[in-house]
Structure 1
Amino acid sequence: MLIADKFEFNDVPEAKAQLNFAPETYIVDSTIRSLQSGVSGSLHTASDMIEIGAALSDIGVRELIVNLSWKDGFTVAEGLAEKNLSARVVGTFRARHPMAETWAKDGIAAGCDEICFESANDADHFSRLADPVRESNRGVSHGFAEAYAYKEVVDIVRAGVALGCRSQSFHDSYFRFALTPEGAKAFYSALRRDVPDAPPLYIHLSNFYGNATMTAIASLAAGASAADVCMNGIGHHCGHIQMAEIVTALAALYGVDAGVKLDRLTEVSHLVRERTGFNGPLHSPVTGDNGFMIDGAYWAAEAHIPYEERIHAKFPIDPRAVGNVETVVWAPGTINTGSVRSKLGAMGIDNATVTDGSVEHIIFALEDLLRQRNTYPNWVTDREFEQLCRDVLRRGY
């Protein structure tokens, strides 16, 4: 369990009174479904998606969601089923499509553990579609991805209770892409109140405004059971809830364990990058190559202070806890003679033997190197900077 430094106001009664997490909070995963979408631009094969699904199951996601109506859907469902994973294989598609009954039947034949009907017309429609699946001893669930009046939502959720529905998921399209964290809390609290025996409620959000993670956490804090996420934030409408972000924030800031092996997040993130060609920003939180990066000048300014007392040259969690590493970089925009001398001292070089001219030459050499490269990112790694320092000193400047 990750525990970040606690800000005192996190624990005041007004803040804690807003938290009503379900007895169990967990993660379901739509990475495969999002890779199937053309918007992902992914270079994967069906075998790649199966391997990605197996890795996601291994780190603790509860369900792997596959769109059966999209390319390779049945092939991937079959491949995942053959692996006997701990995660359930959930086949999904639009309930209003004329092929819905056929897709459900074929999904069961492909080995899906559960069929999720997205956007049934009403409670009767959901019941008609669900009955053959239940007769095959497979689970059923439902997702709201169209516009509904709140009363219609309640009616379908109540119908699902009678059907033994395993979950009810709510998508951004149902929320009109306009859900605020405050609205999320009000919605999930109301649904828990109006259907107290409802099955687990899920939240599936796009990141159009950059608020998917915080709005999903607000939903969970109001009683939703699971976030429907994607590794590396893959998905349309600016991507979906980023797995690494939400599970780390839950653990570090709220003390909530979502059942995911945090120390393997970076490993699986890299697997998805490798198999899809989807790299994402270098500064992606938690699993990004630069996620735990410090400017050399910040590091130097606090190098003499115990790590736990630092402000800028530290991280809220240990990068090793999520399988990542700390990196220090050096760039002309922030470097100065003081930071160079701090670095030389950390390298075991006696600053008394180093002239001010030598330090200036180190700064000039760094500027010259980056001018010649003229590429992004415009910095050098800590290892490169150490070598540059030694080279300048060896030349006797």
Structure 2
Amino acid sequence: MSTIDPDLVWTGTLNALALAGRPKRTAGFYDTTLRDGEQAVGVVFDPERKLEIAKLVDGLGVGRIEAGFPRVSDEDKEAIRAISQAGLKAEIWGFARAMIEDVDAVADLGMKFAVVEAPISDAKLAALEVSRDKVLQRIGNAVAHAVKSGIHVAFFGVDSTRADLDFFETAYKTALDAGAKELAIVDTLAIASPEAVDFLVRRVKSWAGDVPIHWHGHNDFGLGTAGAIAAINAGASWVHGTVDGIGERAGNASLPEIAMALELLYGVETGFRLDRIRAASERLRAIAGYALEPWKAVVGQNLFIRETGAVAAQFHIPQAIEPYSSTILDTPRGIVLGKKSGVASIGIKCRDLGLDVPEASHAALLAAVKKIAITNRRLVTDAEFTDLVRRLG
């Protein structure tokens, strides 16, 4: 069970009732920010930044970090080498296509863990002009070579959620027969509904036995978090994702969102440092040069900020307006002033800024705040509000 103080979680009893009698699950986190995350358009991480990101991710408590794809460039090799030597707590994984040269590049860096990938959907094979027989040969040869090189392999079937199910099974069993120890189901284009995720994970477990199953999801339909949770509930051992869900197209599944949901809604202890999520997100954004929607779950700027007057009137009782305490994420709460503010907002802002304003003046201040906000179509800054108090208070 989660070790979060239940007094800080205000989600009610509905989830516990719905989940009663279901087996307790565990979840391992496999971070691919350094490879799949870097595939976001326009993002480039140099070796120094990759090492910094790896340390940030390690500080979040993930079990595995994919350090990168060494055949991409010499810089990637340099980064992987530095990360491998950094003494991080997480297992450091490499990435290789089902090609002997790729596997050798991983082995040459002394890596002991690696994903070996190959496309297995007919659409991907047709695009690459590779036959089913040819890709099976590549899978068997590459995995066997990796195992012979002392590498613990997880086979990664690209676009596996769109593959013919019989060929899917053949491809993954080929990898197992060649020595793969783990299997990663890959929803490359994020087409699997949560129900389909459950179906596929259970189907693989029915013939793979105790082999650890990974789920690698993307977010094209906004279901990245839901799919990862469905995979864990179906018996997957590992979920892949990135910080903030950074990645190509609509991004990858977001590990922080998955961790929050599993901990607070499902009672699954993940080992994820929830109190460090927002700082890690902020730093990654600075490095990669992207912005987030302010209303984004877990890391959004507005998560604990209130403008609406009706909500501000309840601000003194956090559980009335929030599903969990901001202290879980180690972030402050606050009130901002704007068009939608109410009299209660004025009182809270005065207290926050240490302004001694008679309650009889609050209505006039509110009217002035709304006028500024509507005229300029924006919030009113603390400096502007302080000036209003000076002039009207």
Give the TM interval when normalised to the shorter protein.
0.7 to 0.9
What letter is aligned with 1:327? Answer: G
Q: Structure 1, residues 164-190: CA drift from partner, whole Å, max 9, x if none?
A: 5342112223xx632111111111112
* Cross-structure match for 1:32: 34
Which residue number in structure 2 is paired with residue 186 of structure 1? 199
Deviations 1:83-140 (A, max 9, x none): 1322222222332xxxx21121111112323221112666654332122222222211
Provide the secondary structure at the position in 2 that maps to 1:40: coil
Q: Distance in 2 between matches of 1:131 and 1:371?
A: 67
Cα distance in 2 for residues equivalent to 1:278 and 1:246: 21
For 1:325, give the aligned amino acid.
Answer: P
The residue type equivalent to 2:198 in the other structure is K
- Correspondence 1:333-348 to 2 at 5 A: 334-337=340-343, 339-341=345-347, 344=350
Deviation for aligned residue 1:360 = 4.1
Q: Which residue type is aligned with residue 85 of structure 1?
A: L
In the alignment, the residues of structure 1 paired with residue 44 and residue 374 of structure 2 have an alpha-carbon distance, to the nearest angstrom, of 34
**3-state SS, counterpart of residue 291 of structure 1:** coil
In the alignment, what sits opposite 1:271? 283
Native 8 Å contact 2:335 2:348 kept in 1 = no
Structure 2 length as normaliser, TM-score? 0.83
Instruction: Kindly indicate whether residue 223 of structure 2 is the aligned counterpart of residue 218 of structure 1.
Output: no
Asked if 1:86 is matched to 2:86, the reply is no
C-alpha displacement of 1:241 = 0.6
The equivalent of 2:124 in structure 1 is none
- Structure 1 unaligned spans of 5+: none
Say which of 158, 164, 169 aligns to 1:149. Answer: 164
Is the 2:33–2:242 Cα contact (8 Å) retained in structure 1?
yes
The corresponding residue for 2:151 is: 138
Q: How does 1:57-76 map to 2 (within 5 A)?
A: 57-65=58-66, 66-71=68-73, 72-76=75-79
Q: Which residue of 1 is the match for residue 309 of structure 2?
A: 297
Q: 1:169 aligns with which of 184, 198, 215?
A: 184
Q: Which amino acid aligns with 1:9?
A: L
Deviation of 1:282 after TM superposition, in Å, equals 2.0
Name the SS for the 1:93 alignment partner.
Answer: strand
TM-score normalised according to structure 1 size: 0.83
- 1:300 and 1:343 in contact (8 A); partners too: no
Q: CA RMSD in A?
A: 2.8
Is the CA contact (8 Å cut-off) linking 1:154 and 1:195 kept in structure 2?
no
Q: For the structure 1 residues 182 and 20, does the alpha-carbon distance in structure 2 shift closer, same or farther, using more than 3 Å as the test? A: farther
Deviation readout 1:181-200 (Å, 9 max, x if unpaired): 11111111122122223x21
Q: 1:320, CA displacement in angstroms?
A: 2.4
The 2-side partners of 1:60 and 1:44 are apart by: 21
| Residue 390 of structure 2: aligned partner | 394
CA separation of 1:20/1:185 partners in 2, compared to 1, >3 Å: closer, same or farther? farther
For residues 56 and 349 of structure 2, the distance between their equivalents in structure 1, rounded to whole angstroms, comes to 40
Paired residues of 1:5 and 1:316 also in contact (CA < 8 A): yes
1:1-397 aligned within 5 A = 1-2=3-4, 3=6, 4-12=9-17, 15-16=19-20, 19-20=22-23, 22=25, 24-37=26-39, 39-65=40-66, 66-71=68-73, 72-95=75-98, 100-119=99-118, 125-146=138-159, 147-173=162-188, 177-197=190-210, 199-303=211-315, 306-308=317-319, 310=320, 312=321, 315-332=322-339, 334-337=340-343, 339-341=345-347, 344=350, 353-355=358-360, 358-370=361-373, 378-380=378-380, 384=382, 388=384, 390-396=386-392
Instruction: Give the SS at the match of 1:119.
Output: strand
Give the distance between the partners of 1:338 and 1:204, measured in 2 at CA: 46
The Cα offsets for residues 298-330 of structure 1, whole Å up to 9 and x where unpaired, read as 4432246x444x2x2xx2222222232223222
My pick for the range that moved more, 157-166 or 102-111, is: 157-166
Structure 1 residues 380 and 245, CA gap change in structure 2 (3 angstroms): farther
Q: Residues 183 and 364 (structure 1 numbering): CA distance in 2 closer, same or farther, change over 3 Å?
A: same
CA distance in 2, matches of 1:346, 1:89: 46
8 A contact 1:365–1:388 mirrored in 2: no
Residue 395 and residue 237 in structure 1: after superposition, are their counterparts in 2 closer, same or farther (change >3 A)?
closer
| Partner SS for 2:29 | strand
Q: Determine if contact 1:28/1:61 at 8 Å carries over to the other structure.
A: yes
Q: Which runs of 5+ in 2 are unaligned?
A: 120-131
Count of aligned pairs between the two proteins: 370
Give the distance between the partners of 2:355 and 2:373, measured in 1 at CA.
24
- Percent identity, aligned pairs only, is 20
Deviation of 1:217 (Å): 0.4
Alpha-carbon distance in 2 for matches of 1:349, 1:299:
22
For 1:335, give the aligned amino acid.
Answer: S
Are the counterparts in 1 of residues 312 and 342 from structure 2 also a CA contact under 8 Å?
A: no
Given that 2:305 and 2:335 are in contact with CA atoms closer than 8 Å, whether structure 1 keeps it comes out as yes
- In structure 2, relative to structure 1, the CA distance for the partners of 1:259 and 1:343 (3 Å cut) is closer
